[in-house]
Amino acid sequence: MSDVVPPEVRPKPVVPAKPPNVGAPSPSSPFPPQGPGGGAGSGGVSAPPPSAIPVPIGSHGPGFAANHGIGHGVGHGAGHGGGHATAHSGGHGHGGSHSSSGGSTLLGYIGIDTIIEQMRKKTMKTGFDFNIMVVGNSGLGKSTLVNTLFKSQVSRRSAGWARDEKIPKTVEIKAVSHVIEEGGVKMKLTVVDTPGFGDQINNDNCWEPISKYINEQYEKFLKEEVNITRKKRIPDTRVHCCLYFISPTGHSLRQLDTEFMKRLSHSVNIIPVIAKADTMTIEERQEFKQRVRKELEMGGIEFYPQKEFDEDMEDKSDNDKIREAMPFAVVGSDKEYQVNGKRVLGRKTAWGIVEVENPNHCEFAQLRDFLIRSHLQDLKEVTHNIHYETYRAKRLNENGGLHPISSNDTQESNL
Ligand SMILES: Nc1nc2c(ncn2[C@@H]2O[C@H](COP(=O)(O)OP(=O)(O)O)[C@@H](O)[C@H]2O)c(=O)[nH]1
Ligand SMILES: [Mg+2]
């Protein structure tokens, strides 16, 4: 099976009509109501969507927690409502009263702002899934970077192909899960590796097995959703983010790169990165970044965070900054060195140590902040509300919305 919907004809997910007198979004609503009073109340507490859990990851600053970890919280409706409630509690009372036509004054404390604490408690109990896929030629440092991002051995390093071990003839897909805990929050991280991508002489169609895998996960989720007896929490194996590794050649993008990103950008959040940035000088890096950005733009290739999904001006200005800095030129390492009395992750070269987390040395820290500390929840939401929704709408249309879905075009992968 190829792409579910070719980019040119991709329908916009349908915005469901909001029934009257219903403040809270339904758990599966693709575009829950937004704005003041948009659902800080019961929706967020009693019926959180299965995949949208606020993500207050440990060590980040309060700004991130307020704006993204919790603000975007349980679905957009509850998240925004919660955010408003906090921002305005005791003031304008946005989240509080449905009867007011805006700007009413609360006479006493109601407790709307406690939703943040309630959501936090729920997340602490349930934890959350995050599924990241890495794509790019062998040896570009994919496994190393994922291990660097999560500061543990979550991805097996390919120590080069042994002589008697053959390079896979086709793209293999391997998913490995780990539970990582930080600050009492459990994340079930699944790393989906795609060894063999781009390693052949003829790489035509090597995006196909990857596209198939991504769609199979949507299909699994959909099957669970349309079951009469649904699980309370549907296991989420959908790929939330696909890190695409660009080889640090200094030349143009290869056809394989553009082909992959073009074909997949409408079914998954693609984040392109420039691999092994320490192999280029700072000037070469800047030049290469600009060239890549231009080529992506000229090729009409969208990557995450997509402009069309910016929710408001604040989002747009934050995301513009990120988009302008992309693709991040990264360095990965799992070795620690002593630098100025501190232990840092780095790569030792003849000229000194390249410190992975030092923003003057490479853009790893920017990628990490973006991916984990500010946009992790949004990656999950865009996956659910846009990519999955597009898939779902198409599948249900095909089936008249009612009949069981045949598995003809989504054979299970070898997982
Ligand atoms: N110079 C440099 N080498 C790297 C970097 N990341 C990984 N490597 C090395 O590249 C080789 C392949 O790394 P690996 O993570 O297995 O690549 P993968 O095949 O893409 O998963 C290993 O020897 C790594 O130590 C990097 O950022 N810079
Ligand atoms: Mg690897």
- pLDDT tens-digit series, residues 258-317: 999 999 999 999 999 999 999 999 999 999 999 999 999 999 999 999 999 999 999 999
Q: 401: pLDDT confidence band, cut at 50, 70 and 90?
A: low
Tokens of 213: 């895998």
- Centre a 10 Å sphere on the Cβ of residue 259 and count the other Cβ atoms it contains: 18
Q: 17: pLDDT confidence band, cut at 50, 70 and 90?
A: very low
Give the model's pLDDT for residue 2. Answer: 40
Higher pLDDT, 110 or 54: 110
Superfamily of domain 122-154+164-332+359-396: P-loop containing nucleotide triphosphate hydrolases (3.40.50.300)
Give the model's pLDDT for residue 316. Answer: 96
Tell me which residue of 280, 232, 269 sits closest to 370, measured CA to CA. Answer: 269
Determine which of 29-33, 110-114, 308-312, 334-338 has the lowest per-residue pLDDT on average: 29-33
Burial class (CB in 10 A: 0-12, 13-18, 19+), 412: exposed
For the CA atoms of 141, 145, 147, 151, the dihedral, rounded to the nearest 10 degrees, stands at 150
Contacts of 398 (CB under 8 A, 6+ apart): none
- pLDDT tens-digit series, residues 44-63: 333 334 444 443 333 333 33
pLDDT at 21 over 60: no
Give the model's pLDDT for residue 212. Answer: 97
Give the model's pLDDT for residue 354. Answer: 95
Tokens of 260: 């992959």
Give the model's pLDDT for residue 332. Answer: 96
Q: What is the mean pLDDT of residues 335-357?
A: 93
d(CA 299, CA 295): 6
Give the model's pLDDT for residue 103. Answer: 60
Q: What is the mean pLDDT of residues 89-100?
A: 41
Which protein residue has the closest C-alpha to ligand 1 atom 28? Answer: 276
Q: What is the 3-state secondary structure (H, E, C) of the chain?
A: CCCCCCHHHCCCCCCCCCCCCCCCCCCCCCCCCCCCCCCCCHHHHHCCCCCCCCCCCCCCCHHHHHHHHHCCCCHHHHHHHHHHHHHHCCCCCCCCCCCCCCCCCCCCCCCHHHHHHHHHHHHHHHCEEEEEEEECCCCCCHHHHHHHHCCCCCCCCCCCCCCCCCCCCCCCCEEEEEEEEECCEEEEEEEEECCCCCCCCCCCCCCHHHHHHHHHHHHHHHHHHHCCCCCCCCCCCCCCEEEEEECCCCCCCCHHHHHHHHHHCCCCCEEEEECCHHHCCHHHHHHHHHHHHHHHHHCCCCCCCCHHHCCCHHHHHHHHHHHHHCCEECCCCCCEEEECCEEEEEEEECCEEEECCCCCCCCHHHHHHHHHHHCHHHHHHHHHHHHHHHHHHHHHHHCCCCCCCCCCCCCCCCC
Tell me which residue of 375, 387, 14 sits closest to 211, measured CA to CA. Answer: 387
pLDDT at 333 over 50: yes
Provide the percentage of residues in the chain whose pLDDT is more than 90: 58
Tokens of 343: 């232990």
Q: How far is the CA of 242 from the centre of ligand 1 (A)?
A: 18
* 331 CB near ligand 1 (under 6 Å): yes
d(CA 183, CA 240): 22
Q: Which atom, in ligand 1's list, is nearest to the CA of 279? A: 1
Strands 241-246 and 270-274: parallel
Domain segments of the chain: what residues?
A: 122-154+164-332+359-396
Q: Which atom, in ligand 1's list, is nearest to the CA of 193? A: 21
Q: How far is the CA of 143 from the centre of ligand 2 (A)?
A: 4
* 158 CB near ligand 1 (under 6 Å): yes
Which protein residue has the closest C-alpha to ligand 1 atom 4? Answer: 141
Q: 196: pLDDT confidence band, cut at 50, 70 and 90?
A: confident
Q: What is the mean pLDDT of the chain?
A: 77
Tokens of 164: 């008697």
Q: 98: pLDDT confidence band, cut at 50, 70 and 90?
A: very low
Mutate to test the pocket of ligand 1, among 135, 138, 144, 333 (most ligand atoms within 8 A of CB): 144
Q: How far is the CA of 382 from the centre of ligand 1 (A)?
A: 30
* 194 CB near ligand 1 (under 6 Å): no
pLDDT at 181 over 90: yes
pLDDT at 76 over 70: no
Tell me which residue of 231, 67, 54 sits closest to 125, measured CA to CA. Answer: 54
Tokens of 301: 């290739």
Give the model's pLDDT for residue 30. Answer: 40
